[in-house]
Amino acid sequence: MKKYLALIKTVFQDEFEYPAGIIYWVVLDLIPLVIMFYLWLVVYKTNAKIGDLSLNSMITYYFLMFIIFRLHAHSAFWLADLIKKGDIVGILLKPFNFLSYVIYRTFTRKWISLIISLPVIILALILLKDFIIFPESVLYLMAFLISLLLSMATFILIGIILGLVSFWTLEIGGLYYFCYNIMGFLGGLYLPLSLFPEKLAKALNFLPFYYLYYFPANIYLNQVSFSKIAIGFGISLLWLVLLLFFYKIIWHFGIKQYESFGN
Amino acid sequence: MKRYLKLYFHFFKNCLVRELEFRFNVFALSIVHILWLGVMLGSVVLIFGQIDSIAGWEKQEVLILSVVALLFHDIMEMFFMGNLQRFSYFIRHGEFDFILLKPVNPRFMASFRYVEFQNIVRIIIMIFILVSFLQKAGIEPTIYEWAGFSTLFVGGLIVFYNIFFAIITTNFWLINVFNFSDIFDRLLSAGRYPVNIFQGRLKPFFVYIIPLGLIGTFSVEILLGKVNPISFWVVVIMVAATSLLSELFWRFALKHYSSASS
């Protein structure tokens, strides 16, 4: 346990070495939320409901996307860089299980990110106080928090699997952007899935992306019954197990044929 | 001037040759970018499956705006983004000194040395899509409207280049604006919607301080026959103001630069 605490301390130091970037993204990350707010405010002037969502639900939805996005680490780029430059050897030599190392590092970075964003989140809450709605009960809130953790874990695993593809290719940055954006699109980050054609939206229920953004938001907005929440948790856990399995396979074959450069 | 044009031509050629060494990468990225264009336009279609207009803009008009905004993003990325992103690296690793030692204006080297060709196929396709969308909407811009569109479009590129250059100049003090590409994407993706969605006190902020209208709204309004003389004056004033301010800030920053290495 001591070694993981030391790792967490190192991550803290890394994150605050150059705090300038943090200031920029904390402030500028508000822009998409502001744009969405004004967009839907204008659209709802002539429509009472869109995709079964009222104006307040829609604004709350994008506020939730703003928070959930903060919790998702795009670890594929970092991993790909490690592999390309040979720095992964340094991690392999450390007394850590590689997956544990990545998960601890990523979780720590994301919670730091959320804490740093707290003033902005509180500011957004104050400005949007007339629009934000809250879960009906403590049970819904707890279910939402559990779905958030599942969402973080799923996103990290997908990112790791994508990053490990770098064992076989050298230059793949553009593909990662596309994958992350597609995951966001199919997961409801850019548009609620209730706006999608019904058959497509139903099919997306069975993909892991649905549990990254839309499912947690749906729970928060009281749009899902407890039985469906239970089923959703079951499917989400199943995907976690499958992704873990994929990771093991890719790691096994990737590390076998890996040749380090530079070290 | 002739010397800088000749130099830029060599930079352009050098970058193109380098890019073509990884032909498969260019091909794969082009496919990926075209698919993403499809997703973006699909999002607009999905929204308009539920509504009739956004701030008085109809579906075809918003589709045209989306294409122009993405074209704006891709051209910025092609000519400026790679350079500005590398700037943070140069400052942190002391390589900016080598730029200062060259007998060329350092801002020119920092801004124009690299050209990124990843989006070139999508840029070409988007031009065809734009023309096709205009035809589908029954819009046939005159040569003057195309000239007006181009003027506002290029004016917008200059303004945003100046804004991003000023942001990246802060690297002299802040050392590592590492997430510049996120800043770039966040700001430019906001231009996909008509700037008319902003109301009240925030409207001047998003027109004059962060001029989102320059990304697409003002130039597309010309094509749609909604000429707004104020837009021209906004662009002229913003080009002049941002060029002057970013240059003054750059010179101030250079005076206070202390190298990380030599």
Q: What is the pLDDT along chain A (263 residues), one digit of tens a residue?
A: 666 666 666 666 666 665 666 666 667 777 888 888 989 998 898 888 887 889 999 999 999 998 898 888 788 888 888 888 888 888 777 777 888 888 888 888 888 878 888 888 888 889 888 999 998 889 999 999 999 999 999 999 999 998 888 888 766 666 787 888 889 999 999 899 999 988 988 899 899 999 999 999 999 998 888 999 999 999 999 999 999 999 999 998 888 877 665 54
CB B83 within 8 A of CB A70: no
Asked if residues A139 and A38 have their Cβ atoms less than 8 Å apart, the reply is no
Which whole number is the average pLDDT over B56-83?
Answer: 93
Rg from Cα positions in chain B = 20
Does ipTM exceed 0.90? no
- pLDDT at residue B175, rounded to an integer: 62
Nearest partner of B255 among B106, B63, B58, judged by Cα: B106
The answer to whether residue B198 neighbours chain A at the CB level (below 8 Å) is yes
Cβ atoms B131, B64 nearer than 8 A: no
> Of B54, B177, B186, which is closest to A31 when you measure between CB atoms?
B186
- Which sign, positive or negative, has the C-alpha torsion B67, B73, B74, B75? positive
Quote the pLDDT of residue A209: 93
Closest chain A residue to the Cα of B35, Cα to Cα = A178
pLDDT value of residue A218: 93
Angstrom distance (rounded) from CA B54 to CA A46:
10
Q: What are phi and psi of B54, to 5 degrees?
A: -125, 110
Name every chain A residue with its beta carbon within 8 A of the beta carbon of B186.
Answer: 28-29, 31-32
pLDDT average, residue stretch B146-162: 94
Question: What share of chain B has pLDDT > 70, as a percent?
Answer: 96
Per-residue b or e along B192-201, where b marks 16 or more CB atoms closer than 10 Å to that residue's CB: bbbbbbbeee
Report CA torsion sign: B31, B32, B36, B37. Answer: negative
pLDDT at A7: 67
B131: pLDDT confidence band, cut at 50, 70 and 90?
Answer: very high
Could B199 and A20 be called an inter-chain contact, meaning their C-beta atoms sit closer than 8 Å? no
- Decide: B160 and B240 in contact? Cβ < 8 Å: no
- Out of B36, B187, B190, the one facing A178 most closely (by C-beta) is B36
Chain B contact set for A72 (CB, 8 A): none
Mean pLDDT, residues B62-85: 92
CA A203 to chain centre: 21
CA distances from A230 to A50, A143, A224, A226, B107 (A): 27, 9, 10, 6, 58
The one-letter amino acid code at B126 reads M
Distance to chain A for B103, nearest Cα, Å: 31
Task: Give residue A246's pLDDT.
Answer: 93
Chain A nearest-CA distance from B11, in A, is 22
Contacts of B32 in chain A (CB under 8 A): 174-175, 177-178
At A50, give phi and psi (nearest 5°): -130, 120
Searching chain A, which residue's CA lies closest to the CA of residue B198?
Answer: A38
Q: Which of B51, B178, B193 sits opposite A50 (nearest CB)?
A: B51
Percent of chain B at pLDDT exceeding 90: 40
| Structure confidence at residue A231 (pLDDT) | 94
* pLDDT the model gives residue B24: 75
Given a contact cutoff of 8 angstroms between Cβ atoms, the answer to whether B28 and A175 are in contact is: yes
Could you tell me which residues are beta bridge partners of residue A50?
Answer: A53
**Residue A241 contacts B where some CB pair is shorter than 8 Å:** no
Q: Do A32 and B186 touch (CB under 8 A)?
A: yes
Interchain proximity B193–A182, CB inside 8 Å: no
pTM metric for this prediction: 0.87
Contact B48, B62 (CB under 8 A): yes
Contact residues on chain B for A35, CB-CB shorter than 8 A:
190, 193, 197
